[in-house]
A and B are shown apart, each in its own frame.
Chain A
Amino acid sequence: MIIDTNVYVSRWPFRRLPGDEIPELLAKLRSHGVSQAWAGSFDGVLHEDVAAVNERLAESCRTLGQGLLIPFGTVNPMLPDWQEDLRRCQENLKMPGIRLHPSYHGYTLDDQRFFDLLRQAVEKKMVVQLALNMEDERTQHSLARVSEVDTAPILRLLPKVPGLRLVIQNRRRKPSGKLLGRLSYHGEVYFDFAMLEGVGGIARFIEEVPGDRLLFGSHYPLFYFESALLKVKESELSKAQRDAIFNGNARLLLEP
Chain B
Amino acid sequence: MIWDLHVHFSNFEGRTPHEKMANAVKFADRMAIERFMLYLGFPPHPEDPTPEELTKINNQVLEALQHWHHRAFGFVYLNPNHLEFSLKEFDRCVRDGPMVGVKLWIARKCNTPELDPIVERAASVNAVIFQHTWVKVTGNRPGECTPSEFAELAARHPDIPIICGHTGGDWEHGIRAVRAHKNVSIGIAGSDPTNGFVETAVRELGPQRIIYGSDAGGRSFASQLAKVQGANISDEAKKLILGENLKRMLAPILKRKGFEA
Q: Is B77 an interface residue (CB 8 A)?
A: no
B169 touches A18 (CB 8 A): no
Q: Is B220 an interface residue (CB 8 A)?
A: yes
Q: Which residues of B contact A201 (CB under 8 A)?
A: 220
B195 touches A222 (CB 8 A): yes
Q: Which residue of A lies closest to B200 (CB)?
A: A15
**B residues whose Cβ falls under 8 Å from a Cβ of A:** 11-12, 24, 27, 30-31, 134, 136-138, 169-170, 172, 191-196, 199, 216-223, 225-227, 229-232
B196 touches A234 (CB 8 A): no
Known A-B contacts A137-B138, A223-B194, A233-B31; the reply to A198 vs B172 at CB < 8 A is no
Chain A min CB distance to B196 (Å): 6
Q: Is A63 an interface residue (CB 8 A)?
A: no
Question: Interface digits, A207-227 against B, CB 8 Å rule (1 contact, 0 not)?
Answer: 000000000000011111111
Bound state CA distance, A140 and B232, in angstroms? 24
Q: Is the interface of A mostly helix, strand, loop or mixed?
A: loop
Known A-B contacts A19-B195, A138-B138; the reply to A200 vs B230 at CB < 8 A is no
Of the candidates A17, A220, A231, the one whose C-beta lies within 8 Å of that of B220 is: A231
Interface size class of A (residues with CB under 8 A): 35 or more
Of the candidates B30, B137, B195, the one whose C-beta lies within 8 Å of that of A18 is: B195
A226 touches B229 (CB 8 A): yes
B137 touches A15 (CB 8 A): no
B27 touches A227 (CB 8 A): no
A138 touches B169 (CB 8 A): yes
B27 touches A199 (CB 8 A): yes
B225 touches A197 (CB 8 A): no
Q: Which residues of A contact B196 (CB under 8 A)?
A: 15-18
**A residues whose Cβ falls under 8 Å from a Cβ of B:** 15-19, 135-142, 145, 195-201, 220-227, 229-231, 233-234, 236
Q: Which residue of B lies closest to A17 (CB)?
A: B195
Known A-B contacts A18-B195, A222-B195; the reply to A231 vs B172 at CB < 8 A is no
Bound state CA distance, A236 and B222, in angstroms? 13
B195 touches A138 (CB 8 A): no
Bound state CA distance, A45 and B136, in angstroms? 22
Bound state CA distance, A236 and B219, in angstroms? 17
Of the candidates A16, A145, A197, the one whose C-beta lies within 8 Å of that of B218 is: A197
Bound state CA distance, A195 and B219, in angstroms? 10
A224 touches B193 (CB 8 A): yes
B138 touches A198 (CB 8 A): no
A199 touches B12 (CB 8 A): yes
Known A-B contacts A18-B195, A199-B27, A230-B225; the reply to A224 vs B138 at CB < 8 A is no
Bound state CA distance, A251 and B27, in angstroms? 30
B137 touches A139 (CB 8 A): yes
A234 touches B220 (CB 8 A): yes
A220 touches B229 (CB 8 A): no
Closest 8 CB pairs of A and B: A230-B222, A226-B230, A224-B230, A199-B217, A227-B226, A226-B226, A227-B193, A224-B226
Q: Which residues of A contact B11 (CB under 8 A)?
A: 198-200
Of the candidates B27, B134, B195, B230, the one whose C-beta lies within 8 Å of that of A234 is: B27
Of the candidates A18, A135, A137, A227, the one whose C-beta lies within 8 Å of that of B223 is: A227
